[in-house]
Structure 1
Amino acid sequence: MLKSLIISMLLFLPQVKGQQQSVTADIFFLDLGIVIEPRTGNETYSHLVKAPVEDAVIRIKKIQSGAIYTTASKEALTSLDRLNNHMKELESELRLEIERLEKENTTLRTELVNFKQPKALNVSTINGEAQNQEHQNDFNQKIYTKGAIAYQKEDYKKCLEHFSALTLSRAKPKTRSNVLYWMGDAHQQIGDYANALIVLDLLLEDKSSKQKDDALAQKGLIYQKTGKTDLAKDTFSLLIHKYPKSEYVTLATLELNKSKSKQQ
């Protein structure tokens, strides 16, 4: 009897162990989510890689488009910064010019104080020098200095009052160009866009001026500010055509693209 019981237990233990392993194996495959089926011999395999869905393509295009727009916007801001830097450079030149004029005035005062005995001059010499002096004073340096100081202090109305009294045809080319540019900016600062455009046109007509691309950029921005989009587009197109190497071409191109996108 005991012998039969021992034999039965020995036969039963492998079955229990096998059942435990079977349960464990089932749990393992169940966790992985894998179902293994026997091969039937009718299986087919494809190595074709499906193309991305349209939605993915659209998303990619949108991302690329956004990147291009962001880059263009940054370039436009850079162009505006260059425009502002150019204004700062002109203001720096203006300060140096004022300092030079002040030194000249100091020197003249010193010479007048030290001058004691006037030389005897004949009448013809005096008349000739007086005429030359009058001719040279057609461009009044004192008025120019006052206008420059007023512009530096952002007293634009006073600045325009002084600059408007100058005979710019007698000024040096660079001085004349700077005065016209400052006058255009001064008119714009006080909201007098009509006169700002007139002065900028004078600057564009000045053959010796090297600030024509600046003037066109300013005109285009004024036209946009006043809602004259067609004139703004014409001005920016002219800037790109006549001055393709100008630092303001990027700004002009972006503004034209913005106008086109609004029309679509």
Structure 2
Amino acid sequence: MINLLISCLNRMREVDMKIKQLWEILLVPALGLYLMSCAGSRPKPAGIEEAEKKQKVNEILDLQKTAETDTQRTEEDEVLKLLGITPEEKTEKVTSATSSDTALEQKVAELEEAVNKREQEVEQLRAELRAKENKIVELESILNDLKTVTPEPTTVTTSTAVNKSEFKLRYNDALNEYRNRHYKKAIKLFESLIQLDPNTSLSDNCQYWIGECYYGLGKYEQAIVEFEKVFAFVNSNKEDAAQLKIGLCYLRLNNKKRAKEELERLVMKYPQSEYLPRARRLLKQL
């Protein structure tokens, strides 16, 4: 079938070339006869004679163009006929193809819009997840504080016991200020407690919460400085929590390389830490 179509098309081209050659052959004698008739007739004014010549030439060229157009249409009709397609079906197929292209473009645009919307939803969910993870760390730290703080005997009247009791009360006040997001006020209270007695069992906790306050204020570089001070306290129960927050600070500063190093240090140095699962999740994302 394809070979037949190719053969027909080649044949049509040959016919078209012959027609063009025939027109060229006919056109030259026609022009010659016309010029001879003009020469034998009565002389006319130069302007009129020139205009008539141009008109005759244009008429002959128009006839040639009309013949070429008819030949081209005949070729198209012959091809459609070989394919079994009528002119009406050709028009319907062109219209149908145009409609299909428009529908396809509209469908692609809808899919692109849906993908963009999904990407925005995913990013929003990731942000919410990060916020919840940070909140979990804060709550876990507060819970650990409550577990490690032992109640002071109320019957002891020595000056040392009174100082510890007062320290604990002031510590709880500072912690409440942190929970209420009064970070600047909480920083002052925690710093005053460390100055009052840097050697209590809660002194390292005070230093840790100072770092958390700066983290809450978005001052991540200062928060790193404060969290690193936690390691200066002997037998601190906040070392692993501080190590995790240092990694999170670098992550907030978009320093992924340093964040990865700090989180890996947590995994290696504190294999029994309760923050280990979260550190590993974060490392998978880096």
Alignment TM-score, normalising by the size of structure 2: 0.44
Q: As a proportion of its length, which structure holds more helix?
A: 2
